[in-house]
Structure 1
């Protein structure tokens, strides 16, 4: 009868859907967990963090680290830009002194706890930068919310990067204000925080003492705007030129054509769901490494769902970045697991990383290092990893990486396969196996039903 055929079709289709979706959910959970986890923290004890002497004549900038995970580029680009000017005291601050995780698995030790900075300043910092900090554990996140609320007075400029705007909204600091945020989350935030006017067509939005930015690299525009407001646009322009930042015009006029979710963005979920054999990439840490150059590796490869980046250093001691961050590697050159590629980030890596690189090259079974930025010192550091992602994976994945990063320069040169072959093949294989299973179930249990 017709209803029996319809029932059999429904059961078989449901079974195929459950198998395909279930396999994708497992893959997504595993890959997302590698990207946004704090479970691989290196274990100390660590020496006391070196902090530059505080200059009471300079404004103080506090860049916030969450207890668990903080978005890597949001944090690093802001820290480096303020530090480059040498006009501010710039500190990484956190609820406690423990190792903190940046997305993708970069580990850092804060300069001060919230309480220590409050004691040092005897009040609020001039500026607080709020990167995107996921709400993973309410108990662990609560001190950050309370600290932001405590220092939200009009004498402090609050700067949110990407979905750091959600952290401000969660603290009740955006009620009745206009704000920008990440294009992929703005619909959700409009529903959850309807008392905020969410702006889609600006790279950053100024609302009183709060400056909110759109997607990740939009934070550069917001920070440069704040720098220009405090110490002059000539200094902001100088910092942008030193970093070879190609779209300074957005600092002067943040208007943009808004991006929204499109069908090509499905490559993001395809990679996370069905890229079951992620590429293992090493990131060599060395003293003097540029913060944004290092972050570009993690926020391109790990955030694409195609790779897992592991930090490696030449010794077990912490590494000090160019502008005074204390970084902790997960592995040393002698005990690193087998890697598919070793990346050395930074425009001066050939010189500054020479000792660490020589130690790595003593292990012939490991891949030779790729000096990611040394061949293009006059380009902005985000471009080389996006182009390398296209070569290693495909152009569609790399194009989405640029979109996710809100990178709007037209200087990218993407070469590679047109689309992600491996996860697409895995999806087809899972679908085929699910269909075979459904046919077996139909013939074994459903077809004989009378």
Structure 2
């Protein structure tokens, strides 16, 4: 029993220091992904242009934000076809944080959209939101219910399916979601027929997609269904996305966590020297180009990003973004998304990632592998559900410094515990030797 107790004490000692030092870092890293801005800036969006002859597609974001790729990739694809009125909508009009620190000013509030249209939107895109299942999403879920009851076609992207499921709108429907969370959603929302191993599921009025970039496949399917096969193929070609044009969802092997995925735990908890990258915002930048930078670095949990620029910026298709820093002072690098933007910025190393043609995420994954490590880039591609077959990733193989830190802390905890135990036993032994010997006094 004593041996078991000693082993338990040593195990706790090995865990205590890594947990005490790693947990705050991990919590800070995760909470920063959707941290709201604190300066109260709230510029007006562009005036919307509405053509009543076109169907209307909207991308909804909650008050606490959404995943950046889930939001911006469907928006750009739908907007680039020229066949839709496309707007971003939210319960309120203030800037909302997209993952990685990109603040979007919604073009319309729910009330504003109601004033614009005679009825529901034709297509509603639902990205993953950080507060799914919480009371703060109630304005979104109630609005979604109204839209679906009015006949809107619903497209959920990634874990946006859980937002839809929390409203009860997927009950009795087949649906899919991100491979990391789909089992959890199956337990939380058992009335949904969850399907794994597919890029998207079309169940009539509701289309759902798997993780992150599977949203591109789902959006192209919406375009094919409502506009035509040629429009979908043209949209895919414009962003460099591989698209077979069949209209059928690609089957994929259901992903599971593998030992190499431990890299994310090391990055999240023990990358104490996390690089800080400024992302330059300039008018005319593509929405998918922006998303590729913020989401690739953000999903890696190995790099922190901040939007840099002067005043509100309008993207290629008219979205309004608000930078959080003007100068980017104190940053390690300045990344410029898109094909334009400055070549020189005083006091910063400027990196252009999209000057060469290709799918925008490829260039960012290559940069992530080069500047961090290949294991982190591969983990990020798995989270993004972006196939990397044929994509060359060069860089260090593994984040060895971040791996050694918890091991060293565990060893230190064990050594300190053994040292304290040895010191205690020694003092106890010395005390026993110094104690006076009790004898029998002779009677007088």
TM-score bucket (shorter structure): over 0.9
Q: Which residue of 1 aligns with 2:410?
A: 431
Q: 1:43 aligns with which of 35, 40, 43?
A: 40
Aligned partners of 1:418, 1:115: CA distance in 2, in Å? 51
Aligned partners of 1:81, 1:408: CA distance in 2, in Å? 19
The equivalences for 1:39-118 within 5 A come to 40-46=37-43, 48-118=44-114
Q: Which residue of 1 aligns with 2:21?
A: 23
After superposition, give the CA deviation of every residue in 1:321-346 in whole Å (9 maximum; x if it has no partner): 0001000000112xx23111110011
Aligned partners of 1:174, 1:400: CA distance in 2, in Å? 30
Q: CA deviation at 1:449?
A: 7.2
Aligned partners of 1:64, 1:434: CA distance in 2, in Å? 48
Q: CA deviation at 1:206?
A: 0.8
After superposition, give the CA deviation of every residue in 1:38-76 in whole Å (9 maximum; x if it has no partner): 2x3453252x32133210111111101110120010001
After superposition, give the CA deviation of every residue in 1:301-336 in whole Å (9 maximum; x if it has no partner): 1221111101111x2x20000001000000112xx2
Cα 1:190/1:138, change in 2 over 3 Å: closer
| SS of corresponding position for 1:390 | helix
The equivalences for 1:25-424 within 5 A come to 25-38=23-36, 40-46=37-43, 48-135=44-131, 138-153=134-149, 155-248=151-244, 251-313=247-309, 315=310, 317-333=311-327, 336-346=328-338, 348-349=339-340, 353-354=341-342, 358=344, 361=345, 363=346, 366-374=347-355, 376-377=356-357, 379-424=358-403
| SS of corresponding position for 1:327 | strand
Q: Which sections of structure 1, spanning at least 5 residues, go unmatched?
A: none
Aligned partners of 1:397, 1:198: CA distance in 2, in Å? 29
Aligned partners of 2:249, 2:66: CA distance in 1, in Å? 28
Native 8 Å contact 1:247 1:409 kept in 2? no
Native 8 Å contact 2:42 2:94 kept in 1? no
| SS of corresponding position for 2:360 | coil
Native 8 Å contact 2:13 2:417 kept in 1? yes
Q: Which residue of 1 aligns with 2:419?
A: 440
Aligned partners of 2:251, 2:150: CA distance in 1, in Å? 25
After superposition, give the CA deviation of every residue in 1:85-116 in whole Å (9 maximum; x if it has no partner): 11101001001011110011100100000111
Q: CA deviation at 1:249?
A: 5.5
Q: CA deviation at 1:135?
A: 1.5
Aligned partners of 2:426, 2:247: CA distance in 1, in Å? 67
Native 8 Å contact 2:233 2:245 kept in 1? no
Q: Which sections of structure 2, spanning at least 5 residues, go unmatched?
A: 430-444
Q: CA deviation at 1:255?
A: 1.8
RMSD: 1.8
Aligned partners of 1:332, 1:370: CA distance in 2, in Å? 17
Q: CA deviation at 1:254?
A: 2.4
Aligned partners of 1:248, 1:270: CA distance in 2, in Å? 37
Aligned partners of 1:447, 1:36: CA distance in 2, in Å? 53
After superposition, give the CA deviation of every residue in 1:202-250 in whole Å (9 maximum; x if it has no partner): 1000112000000111000000000011111100100000111124458
Aligned partners of 1:258, 1:395: CA distance in 2, in Å? 22
Return the TM-score normalized by structure 1: 0.91
Count of aligned pairs: 429
Native 8 Å contact 2:42 2:95 kept in 1? no
Q: CA deviation at 1:256?
A: 1.9
Return the TM-score normalized by structure 2: 0.92
| SS of corresponding position for 1:141 | helix
Aligned partners of 1:120, 1:447: CA distance in 2, in Å? 82
Aligned partners of 2:371, 2:332: CA distance in 1, in Å? 11
